[in-house]
Amino acid sequence: MHATLPHLENSDFPALTRRAVTTLQVNLGYRCNQTCLHCHVNAGPNRTEVMDRETVDDLLAFMDAGEIATLDLTGGAPELNPHFRDLVAAARERGVHVIDRCNLTVLEEPGQEDLAEFLAGHGVEVVASLPCYQEANVDGQRGEGVFDASIRALRRLNALGYGAGGDAPTLTLVYNPQGPSLPPDQEQLEAAYREHLGSEFGVVFDRLFTIANMPIQRFGSTLLSHGRFDDYLALLKGAHRAENLEGVMCRDLLSVDWRGYVYDCDFNQMLDLPLEGPGHSDRPHIRDLIGADLAGSPVVVREHCYGCTAGQGSSCGGALG
pLDDT band of 5, cuts 50, 70, 90: low
Asked whether residue 321 is assigned to any structural domain, the reply reads no
Per-residue pLDDT reduced to its tens digit, 70-101: 999 998 899 999 999 999 999 999 999 999 99
Query: 249: which DSSP letter?
Result: G
The answer on pLDDT for 240 being more than 70 is: yes
More confidently predicted of 143 and 275: 275
The answer on pLDDT for 193 being more than 80 is: yes
Distance CA 76, CA 28 (A): 7
The residue-averaged pLDDT of 135-152 equals: 83
- Look at 3-7, 8-12, 126-130, 248-252 and tell me which has the smallest mean pLDDT: 3-7
Q: What is the pLDDT of residue 9?
A: 61
Cis? peptide before 247, omega within 30° of 0: no
Residue of 61, 68, 127 whose CA lies nearest to 95: 68
Q: Is the pTM of this model over 0.75?
A: yes
The answer on pLDDT for 137 being more than 60 is: yes
The residue-averaged pLDDT of 127-147 equals: 82
The residue-averaged pLDDT of 129-152 equals: 84
% residues pLDDT > 90 (the chain): 68
Question: In Å, what is the CA distance from 69 to each residue of 53, 79, 252, 290, 301?
Answer: 22, 21, 11, 15, 25
Asked whether residue 169 is assigned to any structural domain, the reply reads yes
Q: How far is CA 245 from the centre of its chain?
A: 19
Distance CA 186, CA 205 (A): 14
% residues pLDDT > 70 (the chain): 90
Per-residue pLDDT reduced to its tens digit, 156-169: 999 999 999 999 99
Q: What is the pLDDT of residue 92?
A: 98
More confidently predicted of 216 and 130: 130
Looking at this protein, which amino acid is placed at residue 80? L
Looking at this protein, which amino acid is placed at residue 181? S
Question: In Å, what is the CA distance from 276 to each residue of 2, 17, 201, 268, 273?
Answer: 20, 11, 47, 12, 9
Identify the CATH number of the domain in which residue 243 sits.
Answer: 3.20.20
Asked whether residue 189 is assigned to any structural domain, the reply reads yes
Asked whether residue 314 is assigned to any structural domain, the reply reads no
Q: What is the pLDDT of residue 78?
A: 95
pLDDT band of 6, cuts 50, 70, 90: low
Sheet strands (E) in the chain: 23-27, 70-74, 97-102, 125-129, 171-175, 207-210, 253-256, 262-263
- The per-residue pLDDT of the chain, averaged, comes to 89
Contact between residue 260 and residue 35 where contact means Cβ atoms under 8 Å apart: no
Asked whether residue 317 is assigned to any structural domain, the reply reads no
Q: What is the pLDDT of residue 1?
A: 39
In the three-class reduction of DSSP (H, G, I as helix; E, B as strand; rest coil), residue 24 is classed as strand
pLDDT band of 241, cuts 50, 70, 90: very high
pLDDT band of 321, cuts 50, 70, 90: low
- Domain count along the chain: 1
The answer on pLDDT for 297 being more than 60 is: yes
Range(s) of the domain holding residue 279: 2-309
More confidently predicted of 39 and 139: 139
Sheet strands (E) in 7-143: 23-27, 70-74, 97-102, 125-129
Distance CA 7, CA 233 (A): 9
Give the phi and the psi of residue 265 in degrees, each rounded to 5. Answer: -160, 170
